A and B are shown apart, each in its own frame.
Chain A
């Protein structure tokens, strides 16, 4: 069965430092992986996705994610954190390979950027 895990409930980073939000996955076949962000009292917004191709995927707001097949990971990264990056981040994977309407979501990681 497909699954994702976000091992950290919360990540604290000082403004200007690099940040990493972790996601590991378990899928059969080639993985399709997503990152979404949720700002306080808002709906989720798409950040980026990995379908195939380059292992480094670039997304919105300066975020990128590194796909690592051997470690079954898809960590979200940003070289220099901003206070405005503070939000809840979700990793997701399709439940089955023939549809995307059932995404399996990680529990979320709260990212706190301190000035």
Chain B
């Protein structure tokens, strides 16, 4: 049981380039999340998904896109990289029995450290 896996671990992008951060979970969790973590700050939610085919914006969605075609995968797309997107990105997942009301723990991947120059 690998849990939540993310690739790549590190990436350097030039301004204007695009890339996809991959996230996969093997726990059959219905909820998945993308966060960014900036130094000295708590996590900020970028996008989340409550199941395959359903995604929604979090606190800081601008400059990002997501898709959820399967339960396992939740990739995050950066279309036009900007220096403000330099951050550590975490994918997480959790399981909820009832839509909209669950306080189960979130399981996190190891993160992707992205630098945009």
Contact = CB atoms under 8 A, between A and B. Distances in A.
A103 B110 contact: no
Interface of B: 4, 31, 33, 40-45, 48, 50, 58-59, 90, 92, 94, 96, 100-111
A99 B100 contact: yes
Given A51-B103, A99-B101, 8 more contacts: A43-B109, A44-B43, A44-B108, A90-B43, A99-B102, A100-B96, A101-B33, A105-B43
A41 B4 CA distance: 15
Interface residues of A, number: 25
Contact of A43 (B40, B90, B102, B105): B90
Majority SS at the chain A contact face = loop
A80 to B, nearest CB: 25
B42 A108 contact: yes
Contact of A49 (B33, B42, B103, B110): B103
B105 A103 contact: no
A100 B40 CA distance: 23
A98 B50 CA distance: 14
